[in-house]
Amino acid sequence: MKKFDKAFEIAQGIKIGEGQMVLFSGPCAIESWDVCAKVAESLKETCERLDIRYIFKASFDKANRTSVDSYRGVGFEEGLAVLDRIGKEFDLPVVTDIHEASQAKPVSDVAQALQIPAYLCRQTDLLVAAGETGKTIKIKRGQFMAPSDMQYAANKVKSTGNEKVILTERGASFGYHNLVVDMRALPTMRQYAPVVFDVTHSVQQPGGEGGSSGGQKEFAPYLCRAAGAAGVDGFFIETHPDPNKAKSDGPNMVPLHKMNDFLIMAKGAFELGQQANFDFE
């Protein structure tokens, strides 16, 4: 299958789609400055040593939690202030989710990339507003979407003249409280845009703990290696200093102290995957 071959710069000299591994990583939700700073400092050092392009990720609001009682984040203004400080103090580009069209412009003043949550990947007004910011737009594939249909989500952003679109694979619903990853989705979507594999949400069990989501992080290394070998342009990995105490998605996050070894493994699979294309003609 023909791969999308138009590499572009996300921010600060970090390009995607040219054969260099890009990592989007951080805690699921912004819990505090201290947690975000600890993750950013650790991952920046690790990625510089391993020659991986790093973009810090955390959400100021988790608007799609299972229960109304679930932790959502520190709020819009405080969350953007934390992200802005992370970017400036650690000299890192940042990515965060937006959930409404009205959030696109103010968030783009702080973040170098905007992420569209999986459940919102069909929302035309949201995608267009995101595209109009001119920033890189990272769209997660909905668990209900065929991989080939993600070209239409990408085209909604591109209709604004913004070609900087990344598609993200995070599994498809398979019965209740379960996700599976069809590796055919990766080359399929990679025809339309660079593709990032979401390692940690692919092992999530949505709503699987009765009011909150569970996860099977023991399978994360296997899916990471498989996706890397299949051929992707980067990885999305959520991490936390103590996942057991994380306020969101703890069951599927990689412990921060394990990230060095995890990224060495991921980069090996990534490099193998750069040779994945095979011409049958």
Nearest in space to 122 (alpha carbons), one of 102, 136, 143, 92 = 143
Q: How many domains does the chain have?
A: 1
Q: What pLDDT, on the 0 to 100 scale, is given for residue 29?
A: 92
Model confidence at 212, pLDDT cuts 50, 70, 90, reads low
What residues have CB less than 8 Å from 196, skipping those under 6 apart? Answer: 22, 24, 138, 166, 167, 168, 169, 232, 233, 234, 235, 236
Comparing CA positions, the residue from 256, 270, 170, 268 lying closest to residue 215 is: 170
Assess if residue 13 is contained within a domain: no
Residue 198 lies in a domain: yes
Tokens of 15: 């390009």
- pLDDT (tens digit per residue) in 101-138: 999 999 999 999 999 999 999 999 999 999 999 999 99
For 196-211, what is the mean pLDDT? 80
Q: Distance (Å, rounded) from C-alpha 126 to C-alpha 26?
A: 24
Residue 237, pLDDT > 80, answer: yes
pLDDT tens per residue, range 259-274: 999 999 999 999 999 9
In a domain, 14, yes or no: no
- Strand blocks (E) in the chain: 8-11, 14-16, 22-26, 53-57, 94-97, 113-116, 136-140, 165-169, 172-173, 179-180, 195-198, 204-205, 214-215, 234-240, 254-255
Residue 245 vs residue 72, higher pLDDT: 245
Q: How far apart are CA 115 and CA 266, in angstroms?
A: 22
- The closest of 9, 1, 89 to 53, measured between CA atoms, is 9
72 pLDDT more than 80: no
Q: Could you count the other beta carbons within 10 Å of the beta carbon of residue 240?
A: 24
User: What sign does the dihedral 87-93-96-101 (CA atoms) show?
Assistant: positive
Q: What is the C-alpha separation between 237 and 5, in angstroms, rounded?
A: 24
Task: Return d(Cα 239, Cα 237) in angstroms, integer.
Answer: 6
Q: What is the DSSP letter of 182?
A: -
Q: Which of 167, 166, 127 is closest to 147 using CA atoms?
A: 167
Answer with the residue of higher pLDDT: 209 or 140: 140
Of all helices (H) and strands (E), which one includes residue 131? helix 124-132
Three-state SS for 159?
coil
Q: How far apart are CA 239 and CA 256, in angstroms?
A: 6
The size of the chain, in residues, is 281
CATH number reported for the structural domain that contains residue 56 in this entry: 3.20.20.70
Given a cut of 60, whether residue 208 has pLDDT beyond it is: no
The answer to whether residues 114 and 130 touch, using CB atoms and an 8 Å cutoff, is yes
Listed in order, strand segments (DSSP E) in 4-162 are: 8-11, 14-16, 22-26, 53-57, 94-97, 113-116, 136-140
Q: What is the residue whose two structure tokens read 């035309």? A: 124
pTM confidence score: 0.94
Pairwise pLDDT comparison (63 vs 265), residue with the higher score: 265
* Domain extent for 201: 20-273
Confidence at residue 65, expressed as pLDDT on a 0 to 100 scale: 62
What band does 210 get if pLDDT is binned at 50, 70 and 90?
A: low
Please write the tens of the pLDDT for every residue from 26-55.
Answer: 999 999 999 999 999 999 999 999 999 999
Evaluate whether residue 217 is within a structural domain. Answer: yes
Q: What is the pLDDT of residue 265?
A: 98
Residues 6+ apart with CB under 8 A from 149: none
